[in-house]
Amino acid sequence: MFGDLYDAVSFLFSWRWPRVDGEITAVDVERIRHTRGRDTFRLAVAYEFSLGDDGPYTGESFWAPAFCMNRRVIAARRKRRVRQAVVVRYRRDDPSVNRLDRQVWKGL
């Protein structure tokens, strides 16, 4: 329980974590059903990276814009491709806790 809490809180400071080059392994548009109103979409990006001989580590990140959601997510799907290089941030003491760097989402 405390380990999960530590992982969640550490994400707040992920911008300070070390960076490493990774590669996208899958890109999907996920439909999120709501009981009221329209369904919304979000972009799911799976990736992997290695640290020297250690790895591969994997992760998944999601992106959902605040405005014009569905149209922007579908357009963003065309801009992110499998085998595309990305920057990954990882926690130094446990690289399995990781996330995509903010710059990956810029320009979407």
* Domains in the chain, number: 1
| CB-neighbour burial class of residue 46 (10 A; exposed 0-12, middle 13-18, buried 19+) | middle
* Each residue's pLDDT tens digit, 27-56: 999 998 888 878 889 999 999 999 988 889
* Each residue's pLDDT tens digit, 44-93: 999 999 998 888 999 999 998 887 788 899 999 999 999 999 999 999 98
One-letter amino acid at 79 equals: K
> Rounded distance, CA 36 to CA 23, Å?
37
**CA distances (Å), 4 to each of 1, 9, 10, 58, 86, in order?**
5, 9, 10, 18, 26
> Rounded distance, CA 13 to CA 17, Å?
7
Residue range of the domain that includes 90: 2-104
